[in-house]
Structure 1
């Protein structure tokens, strides 16, 4: 179905920017960039998919069943997203909060044009219907002049939940924890701007430059945009192996190297931060066991400390071997939404989240990624992200933190502001 041609690049970093700029002519675009962050399970340094031949777009009703049918039928590269509200497809839950973004609950497409970058080797894989365009497109992209837009955005960012309301809601969540309804829950709040126009590529480039995360994403579906600086992997499938890497536990960076290392080491032994992470690891072990071969679920790393440009994080790695009778979408359906963005027990946490949060999460805390023709996949967690509906000029970003019995509402609020800093800086400069 596809013709693949390989090129050697002189300047891969420049080519990535040229490639994303060139792709804006298409209605559908997904660009995934690892920013050369060293990690064990990377398949590509960057991937770009554009121009849909086929697509699936649906609300939460029977969404996973429709996605499974689409994936099994096409047996091709598919790119798209799962919104948080697909929880309503797998459990008796609802999403009735305010939604200013109006994204579909699920969207995937089969790209005509695909670019796979590893080191300085670029593979271009086009569907046969357009494979005569490979060389022309490569020359056009490689010789294009980069358009630099340094205009400040100047968006007026509002906070959906005031500091006092946030503290009151976290206090209510702590009551649920002390009653034993839940052990942990991820509580989020939205920042937004109305009647605002932004330049998506410029905004993405500025956000990515600030954070340089391993799961950066630029997503476009006509008028809907996601500009993500996510540091977190949700789920990867490579052959029969499933890998989940939840993030729980956050500490600030310092410009002083000695202090910075001290902060990182303190994070690794912080009882509250470790307990957050370990509770989610247990939840994910349980989720993975639903599709795993017997005795194959393993914790490869527990609470490893990783450094990013703005924060330190604790990351754990859990793996399993998927049983033969399960499809790739089965694994997603039985683990979604990811435990790091819900809590434990999962269903109770999601019910309480829905009551206390003011905004429908939508794509925030969902996942963006791809399927390969042989059924492998890789998906991030949509955090540290700006969402934009160009049609109604609505810009949004949300942040959250894990609430446990040891949580101090004031400190959780400060953690949220720390996570929101990059998005604020990009939009308000």
Structure 2
């Protein structure tokens, strides 16, 4: 990719909206990411746009070097890694791997926009709509009653010793006619700006993501995982907010959920790391976002010499926070109890640098849309343990869905 040779004054986020509308017309693939100025351990996604017209096939992805790449690994890639299958219906069909070569890169900071191509003068004169105009009618695929019934099934699996903790997810689906994913993305950023926010396009399919969670980050021979387990709502007053935060920090239930997934991630990282190098720099860290407080743990390790990108993914995917433990058996139960194919939801969005370093998010708090089929869906979930309360877990799912529902309803 060419070095950044064009610099422009950065005035406000509206200019990024103008640029992305232009990019969307010109390129089949794009990936806009933003960290929204969050102070997050090990940093956030960069404020940048990558775009291109060339998809990367699987064989090339695993051996690709010397170029910027962006893409998504679908949750159902698990079926290629283990003896698993997903027979539930898919509202939107997506490939297991969707990656593209970046032909241009645009990034922005406090007062400047840098681009590897010249941005046409006409772009700055474009008028950008204020918000997503179409109100989308959303239907939950799982009723509250069905959720509570399935909750009991999961706890029975725990009693039988088949799983210790399972991330049970439900889906919301909608049909559209004039849905604009770009406007919806910026609406979602106003409501829920996150450290791993992203807008991803692959031809007619779009991901609109307000993810708070990192999957993996590779810097040189260091590997970082940051599973989230533990959620509390924000308070209406400072006192209530601090009380909710403290309750989350000291909750034995939330700590137990977090620790199970932390141990799972430590085990996954150990498969590709130097013996004795896996450690936990921060356990049960509490971080606050617009709608929720989250309990986040950081696990790090030193990679074995000559470990490949494919070996890292095969050892760690899917992320334990979206499956539960033990991972393989729990994924079998997920396919039996859930009633939809997850697809991009609970997969990972990845940014891969020319030197092979990468960063990636967990695809949660995200809308997946297909403009060709006039459809969209999103999933939400929570961890079920033997001590979990079904009504509280269902309310947690609705809390996680609240910002997306607000965007799609136009409220």
Moved more, 11-20 or 80-89: 11-20
The TM-score, its normalising length taken from structure 1, stands at: 0.91
Describe the superposition over 1:178-235 as per-residue Cα deviations: whole angstroms up to 9, x where unpaired: 1111110100000011354411111111111110001011011111011111111111
Alignment of 1:381-392 (within 5 A): 381-392=362-373
Q: Are residues 1:29 and 2:23 paired?
A: no
Q: 1:409 offset after TM fit, Å?
A: 1.2
1:88 matched to 2:69? The reply is no
Structure 1 match to 2:101? 110
Q: How does 1:26-425 map to 2 (within 5 A)?
A: 26-42=27-43, 45-52=46-53, 54-57=54-57, 67-69=61-63, 71-72=64-65, 75-125=66-116, 134-135=117-118, 137=119, 139-141=121-123, 143-150=124-131, 152-425=133-406
Structure 2's unaligned 5+ residue stretches are none
User: Are 1:102 and 1:389, in contact at CA under 8 Å, matched by a contact in 2?
Assistant: no
> Equivalent residue of 2:150, what SS?
helix
Separation in 1 of the partners of 2:188 and 2:6? 30
Report the Cα distance in structure 1 between the residues aligned to 2:402 and 2:139, rounded to whole angstroms. 14
Residue of structure 1 in register with 2:2 after alignment: 2
- In structure 2, the residue corresponding to 1:249 is in which secondary structure? strand
- Pair 1:20 & 2:14 matched: no
Q: Is the 8 Å Cα contact of residues 380 and 397 (structure 2) preserved in structure 1?
A: yes
CA–CA distance in structure 2, aligned partners of residues 270 and 196 of structure 1 = 45
Question: Which of 107-116 and 14-23 deviates more?
Answer: 14-23
TM norm structure 2 = 0.95
1:357–1:202 CA distance, 2 compared to 1 (3 A): same
SS in 2 for 1:189: strand
TM superposition shift of 1:329: 2.8
SS in 2 for 1:92: coil
Q: In 2 relative to 1, CA 304–151 (structure 1 residues): closer, same or farther, beyond 3 Å?
A: closer
Distance 1:423 1:56 in 2: 30
Q: Deviation at 1:350?
A: 0.3
The answer as to whether partners of 1:82 and 1:106 remain within 8 angstroms in 2 is: yes
Give the Cα–Cα distance (whole angstroms) in 1 for the partners of residues 217 and 259 of structure 2: 20
The CA deviation at 1:423 is 1.1
Query: CA 1:18–1:82 in 2, change beyond 3 Å: closer, same or farther?
Result: same
CA offset at residue 345 of structure 1? Answer: 0.3
Q: Is the 8 A contact 2:168 2:383 kept in 1?
A: yes
Aligned residues: 409
The answer to whether the 8 Å contact 2:10/2:108 transfers is no
Aligned partners of 1:45 and 1:118 also within 8 Å: no
1:128 aligns with: none
Q: 1:196 to 1:139 in 2, by over 3 A?
A: closer
CA distance 1:375–1:34, change in 2 (3 Å): same
Q: Is the 8 Å Cα contact of residues 131 and 187 (structure 2) preserved in structure 1?
A: no
- In the aligned structure 1, how far is the partner of 2:12 from the partner of 2:219? 25
Q: Which residue of 2 aligns with 1:130?
A: none
Please state whether the residue corresponding to 2:55 is helix, strand or coil: strand
State the match for 1:60 in structure 2.
none
CA distance in 2, matches of 1:115, 1:13: 14
The unaligned stretches of length 5 or more in structure 1 are: 58-62, 126-133
Cα deviations by residue, 1:39-88 (Å, 9 ceiling, x for unpaired): 23237641211122x3225xxxxx5x55313x24xx21011100000101
